[in-house]
């Protein structure tokens, strides 16, 4: 038995142990943790909580939701909460050749201020406890999703490792030419925009994140599961966002990677997961802003599966070594989208 096979068997065994320890309590525990000052909270608990505690819980819950719908990691988290809104061109938000971090930060800051209610925008609050609790919520959600996905390998059945043409004998991880991100992958067409981000396993990931392990299992098997209280209802999710799709792509690739912890840069692979996530966001935002048919169809497919009312409404309206090779692959994918 090879070292790789031993590694995989060991991971599967450990995952099974973790799964038995967790069982289905996780979904209920996450749901209870997110009960804040909403109408779903228990009245007796609300009466016992102080206003401060409720607001802290509320802000932490917003951070959890933002982690799924907008950004896995808030960019420039040490600076962004201290930054003032200024005019910027949304088209330049992810442009590598434009001055950064200005455009990227301004775009993310608008997302933050849209999600966080205006009553918390005063600088002393926004830069203080709001920032702390919001980022804490993000950290909690990343940890919860990491455990939910890695500890349940039965939910999933090649993460884009290619030879580096500029360094014979070396490899790099391509952002877009990834088999597990394509529907019915054909290796004669390494990147097919018509099939990109439509692999069923991406749907399993999103379902597991928003509906718990049972939701992921239902999508994976097609067998209806006992409904449990989950994030989709608690957060009032109504339609697919770029952050949801980009997040599912990064989480799915990480599941198959050899990185044990989910961090911005993989300790083993050297993959800059935050950079990969941003590349997917940029591709999706460009397609939406330009109303590219391929992108609109992609979101329609996702909405049709998870948020059918949104799809209906739209119908009515109408090794870590190889940065150059990685960027070339991203540029190619963006150019193909522009030409679509």
pLDDT at 48: 44
pLDDT higher than threshold 80 for residue 324: no
pTM: 0.74
- The mean pLDDT value for 118-142 works out to 96
Which region holds residue 76: left if phi is over 0, alpha if psi is between -120 and 50, else beta?
A: left
DSSP 8-state code for residue 162: E
Tens digits of residue pLDDT in 280-290: 999 999 999 99
Tens digits of residue pLDDT in 94-109: 877 666 778 899 999 9
Beta bridge partners of residue 196, listed in sequence order: 182
Tens digits of residue pLDDT in 219-245: 999 998 877 778 898 899 999 999 999
Cα angle 180, 186, 191; round to 5: 70
CA dist 65 and 117 (Å) reads 14
pLDDT at 326: 65
The share of the chain scoring above pLDDT 70, in percent, equals: 75
CA dist 60 and 135 (Å) reads 7
Is 306 in contact with 248 (CB distance < 8 Å)?
no
- The mean pLDDT value for 45-69 works out to 84
pLDDT at 128: 96
Q: Which of 79-88, 250-259, 316-325 has the lowest mean pLDDT?
A: 316-325
């Amino acid at each position: 038995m090879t070292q790789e096979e031993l590694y995989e068997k060991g991971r599967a065994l450990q995952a099974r142990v973790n799964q038995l320890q967790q069982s289905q309590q996780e979904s209920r525990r996450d749901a209870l943790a997110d009960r804040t000052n909403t109408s779903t909270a228990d009245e007796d608990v609300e009466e016992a909580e102080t206003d401060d505690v409720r607001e802290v819980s509320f802000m932490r819950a917003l951070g959890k939701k933002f982690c799924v719908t907008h950004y896995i990691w808030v960019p420039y988290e040490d600076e962004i909460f201290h930054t003032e809104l200024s005019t910027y061109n949304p088209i330049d938000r992810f442009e590598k050749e434009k001055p950064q971090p200005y455009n990227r930060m301004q775009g993310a800051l608008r997302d933050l201020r849209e999600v966080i209610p205006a009553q918390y925008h005063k600088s002393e609050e926004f830069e203080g406890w709001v920032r702390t609790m919001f980022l804490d919520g993000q950290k909690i959600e990343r940890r919860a999703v990491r455990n939910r996905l890695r500890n349940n390998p039965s939910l999933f059945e090649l993460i884009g490792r290619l030879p580096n043409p500029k360094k014979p004998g070396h490899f790099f991880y391509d952002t877009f030419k990834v088999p597990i991100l394509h529907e019915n992958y054909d290796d004669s067409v390494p990147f097919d925009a018509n099939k990109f981000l439509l692999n069923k396993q991406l749907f399993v990931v999103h379902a597991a994140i928003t509906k718990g392990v049972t939701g992921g299992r239902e999508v994976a098997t097609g067998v209806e599961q006992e409904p449990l209280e989950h994030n989709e209802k608690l957060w009032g999710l109504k339609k697919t966002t770029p952050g949801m799709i980009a997040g599912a792509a990064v989480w799915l690739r990480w599941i198959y990677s050899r990185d044990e912890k989910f961090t911005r840069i993989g300790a083993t692979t050297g993959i800059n997961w935050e950079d990969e996530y941003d590349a997917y966001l940029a591709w999706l935002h460009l397609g939406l802003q330009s109303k590219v048919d391929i992108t609109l169809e992609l979101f329609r497919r996702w909405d049709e599966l998870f948020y059918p009312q949104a799809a209906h409404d739209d119908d009515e309206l109408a090794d870590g070594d190889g940065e150059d090779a990685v960027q070339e692959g991203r540029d190619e994918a963006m150019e193909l989208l522009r030409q679509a």
